[in-house]
């Protein structure tokens, strides 16, 4: 990493890597033709494209010293990385990859069931009436829609041992457990990020600038929206970029081993150079 930072800081380097990844690995603005062999790889690249845009937003907040707000985006980046790893994990068979991909693709159907069931609970508890909200769906309509989605799950083979529709959704904890390094990051940082996401009272302390050393901020403080935790800044910056780099390395390896023609169509030397730089950064910051 010393060579990387001689001429540019971490922010500049990360933004330059995003550009290089987008133009080569993600094939931004280029035609991608889908086939049975490339459907999973294509979806993984789309997921990594989302992670790329998330990292852009993260870096913009970090550039403006909004570390505490950037942590919220860090959580989304970690979620994305765990999902990519879940689908393309090493040491699993091709059949397992296909099965995980199917579980991933059916999540919207399961989410619709959960949403409709929640709607029923709200309706049953009289919330719509108390809020004078126009409740347009009857119980009959709700049940019909829920049954429609459950039948779709059964038809596509997503069933429990008892033959009923499997409506279990993928959880963050489930995803985290498939990769030791990401699981460690989940254990260390996810709860912290959730505090900032949900505006836990402790996450607001950073905005309280002490009036002086003798007056605690519980008594008096100066509102300062420009304050940030410098230690958290350095830590979360390196961890987040490392996650992006690790995801690239694992995806690159997955595609190279399973759909090498996708790699061969790109600037192969540039891809290997990107991989090398990410590898140096990750090992420098582990």
Instruction: Give tens-digit pLDDT for 188-225.
Output: 888 888 988 899 998 999 999 999 988 999 999 999 99
pTM for this one? 0.89
Would you say 158 and 165 are in contact if contact means Cβ atoms under 8 Å apart? yes
Would you say 145 and 204 are in contact if contact means Cβ atoms under 8 Å apart? no
CA dist 246 and 242 (Å) reads: 6
Would you say 251 and 44 are in contact if contact means Cβ atoms under 8 Å apart? yes
Q: What is the pLDDT of residue 65?
A: 92
The secondary structure of residue 65, as a DSSP letter, is T
Would you say 149 and 112 are in contact if contact means Cβ atoms under 8 Å apart? yes
Instruction: Identify the helix (H) or strand (E) that includes residue 61.
Output: helix 39-63
Exposed / middle / buried, residue 191 (Cβ in 10 Å: 0-12, 13-18, 19+)? exposed
pLDDT digits (tens, 9 = 90+) for 17-64: 999 999 999 989 988 888 888 899 999 999 999 999 999 999 999 999
Q: What is the pLDDT of residue 217?
A: 92
144-148, 153-157, 191-195: least confidently modelled range:
191-195
Total length of the chain: 286
For the chain, give the mean pLDDT: 90
Phi, psi angle pair for 208, to nearest 5°: -95, 105
| Neighbour tally for 22: CB within 10 Å | 17
Exposed / middle / buried, residue 82 (Cβ in 10 Å: 0-12, 13-18, 19+)? buried
Spatial CA neighbour of 24 closest among 187, 268, 196: 268
């Amino acid at each position: 990493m010393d060579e990387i930072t001689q001429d540019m800081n971490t922010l500049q380097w990360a933004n330059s890597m995003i550009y290089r990844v987008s133009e080569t690995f993600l094939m931004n603005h280029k035609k991608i033709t889908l086939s049975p062999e490339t459907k999973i790889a294509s979806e993984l690249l789309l997921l990594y494209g989302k992670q790329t845009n998330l990292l852009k937003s993260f870096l913009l907040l970090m550039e403006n010293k909004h570390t505490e707000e950037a942590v919220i985006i860090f959580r989304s980046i970690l979620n994305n990385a765990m999902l990519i790893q879940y689908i393309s994990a090493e040491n699993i068979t091709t059949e397992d990859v296909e099965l995980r991909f199917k579980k991933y693709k059916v999540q919207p159907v399961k989410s619709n069931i959960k949403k409709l069931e929640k709607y029923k609970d709200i309706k049953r508890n009289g919330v719509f009436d108390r809020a004078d909200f126009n409740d347009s769906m009857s119980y009959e309509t709700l049940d019909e829609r829920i049954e429609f989605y459950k039948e779709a799950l059964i038809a596509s083979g997503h069933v429990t041992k008892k033959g009923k529709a499997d409506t279990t959704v993928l959880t963050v904890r489930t995803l985290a457990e498939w990769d030791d390094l990401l699981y460690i990051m989940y254990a260390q940082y996810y709860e912290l990020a959730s505090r900032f996401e949900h505006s836990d009272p402790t996450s607001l302390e950073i905005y309280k600038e002490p009036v002086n050393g003798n007056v605690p901020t519980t008594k008096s403080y100066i509102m300062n929206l420009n304050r940030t935790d410098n230690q958290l800044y350095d830590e979360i910056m390196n961890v987040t970029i490392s996650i992006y780099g690790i995801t690239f390395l694992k995806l690159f390896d997955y595609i190279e081993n399973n759909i090498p023609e996708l790699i061969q169509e790109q600037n192969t030397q540039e891809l290997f150079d990107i991989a090398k730089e990410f590898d140096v950064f990750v090992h420098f910051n582990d």
